[in-house]
Amino acid sequence: MSTLTIAIIVVFVLGYALIAMESLTKVNKAAIALLMFVFCWMLFMFDPAPFIQLMHPDFAGAGEKVVAFANSLITEHLGDTATTLFFLMGAMTIVEIVDQNGGFNWVKNVMQSKTKRSLLWKIAFMTFFLSAILDNLTTSIVMIMILRKLIQDKHDRMIYASLVIIAANSGGAFSPIGDVTTIMLWNSGMITAGGVISEIFVPSLISMLIPAFLLSLSLKGNIQRDNLTNDLSGDREVLEFNSLQRKIIFAIGVGGLCFVPLFHFLTDLPPFAGILLVLGVLWTVTELFYHNLHKERGGDFHFSKRVSSLLSRIDMSTILFFLGILMAVACLEEVGVLRELGNGLNIAFNSNHYAVTGIIGVLSSIVDNVPLVAGSMGMYPVEAMGDMSVDGIFWQLLAYCAGVGGSMLIVGSAAGVVVMGLEKITFGWYMKRISWIAFVGYIAGILSYWVIRTLVFTTPL
């Protein structure tokens, strides 16, 4: 291993450690990720020839051609990363448009329950399926806001909030648009929409049902009537569109998100093109609605929920964090580190992909699952046949393990981090009360997948 390779690894590990200690350093993780990305590639460009010779033996150029080829590699990786980033930006904007126009208010009415246990099961299933359509982060925020209107007892709400984390991560794992990691795998062609839904749905459902049952044992009694009254009062928000217009926005937004996999299948265009199509249609429809409102209220009237205004609410720091992480991981791929790591894992576990992906899932509860999946994609090439083929056992399990595994610690997923901040749940409380429950569900899901692939579907659907 060369000195430059070691230096790149040191920069990556140091950057990753600073990202993990964001709460201590008070430096936004996006800033560290961007610095990590640039410094890794700067070291690569000091002497790219040995790396290119190692990873691209067919290249025979020298001198300036080496520099040009190295730059083309960076551009190629940036293009691959951009497909994921544009998908996320489009999806986040669509969800924001629907939410700001009251599209999710109906969820509050569905959640009305008399007993604590019936509410728990409603929350579990609602979170599970909403996460598959939206994403686990957005779904968690929506569900916590609803819980605050329904449950006043802090301890009970912490239990419900913990279930929201587990259900959101489980629901996102079986959907090609439900989690950043599944979006990455789908965009890169490792899994198909039909394959991941048909084969990971049951394991994901089991990984939610078992923890929900265990958590329900700690909840007894009825919900106080005044809590339901608070919920029925709802938010006194000012909505700019009438009921019919809001329903149209909801139908286009959520229906469009569901349509993206079909669009990809019909056109062979990348998924981000489908999400941008939905965003364009939704933006156009809302502008037509606002054109009519301007006629009614006057041209000078300012509307705060126009798409052009809502774009400023998109969490760009998250987008830049993903950019930095994915491009830094791409550098590790180009210096051959990921390939060697993948070979080492295969040797250590005798090519048992259930064990390899299971370990990756456990690690995803400690560190961010985005670089773990990005690293795995760089470690293992897609093969024509076998476990590494499209929709093969390895990629299907990676989608499940990386998504569901993050539930084992509260800091192991975006859903967990946001719930931790909103409900002030401590790391220790979650680890003591919830981690083992999430682990039981995680293992049960893997076992169910083994049963399905061994006894039911021996080949991908």
* The predicted structure's pLDDT at residue 460: 54
* The predicted structure's pLDDT at residue 233: 40
**Helix, coil or strand: residue 434:** coil
Find the helix packing angle between 435-451 and 193-216, rounded to 10°. 140
Model confidence over 54-104: pLDDT tens digits? 888 888 878 888 899 999 999 998 988 888 788 878 877 887 888 787 777
Here the tokens at position 34 are 């961007």
Residue whose entry in the numeric block shows the structure tokens 């659907």: 461
- 279/97 Cα distance (integer angstroms): 9
- 111/143 Cα distance (integer angstroms): 10
Q: Contact at 8 Å (CB) between 166 and 408?
A: no
CA angle, residues 198, 200, 202, in degrees to nearest 5: 85
DSSP annotation of 190 reads S
Contacts for 212 with CB less than 8 Å, ≥ 6 apart: 120, 121, 124, 163, 166, 167
- Look up residue 197 and give its amino acid: I
The pTM of this model reads 0.70
In the chain, count of helices (H) and strands (E)? 23, 0
- 114/96 Cα distance (integer angstroms): 31
* The predicted structure's pLDDT at residue 211: 95
- 176/272 Cα distance (integer angstroms): 12
* The predicted structure's pLDDT at residue 242: 77
More confident residue, 164 or 365: 164
* The predicted structure's pLDDT at residue 225: 52
Mean pLDDT of 241-251: 83
Q: What rounded mean pLDDT belongs to the chain?
A: 82
Lowest mean pLDDT among 50-54, 133-137, 231-235, 261-265: 231-235
Contacts for 307 with CB less than 8 Å, ≥ 6 apart: 93, 97, 282, 283, 286, 287
Here the tokens at position 276 are 């941008």
pLDDT band at 303 (very low <50, low <70, confident <90, very high): low
Here the tokens at position 418 are 């946001």
Contacts for 136 with CB less than 8 Å, ≥ 6 apart: 168, 169, 171, 172, 178, 179, 403, 413, 414, 415
* The predicted structure's pLDDT at residue 234: 42
Highest averaged pLDDT of the listed ranges 142-146, 242-246, 258-262, 445-449: 445-449
- 226/230 Cα distance (integer angstroms): 6
Which class for 411: exposed (0-12), middle (13-18), buried (19 or more C-beta within 10 A)?
middle
Nearest partner of 214 among 99, 293, 124, judged by Cα: 124
Q: Is the pLDDT of residue 437 over 80?
A: yes
pLDDT band at 236 (very low <50, low <70, confident <90, very high): very low
Largest CA distance in the chain: 77
Model confidence over 114-129: pLDDT tens digits? 888 899 999 999 999 9
Contacts for 186 with CB less than 8 Å, ≥ 6 apart: 176, 177, 192, 193, 196, 271
Q: Contact at 8 Å (CB) between 136 and 168?
A: yes
* The predicted structure's pLDDT at residue 237: 52
Q: Is the pLDDT of residue 339 over 80?
A: no
Q: Contact at 8 Å (CB) between 370 and 325?
A: yes
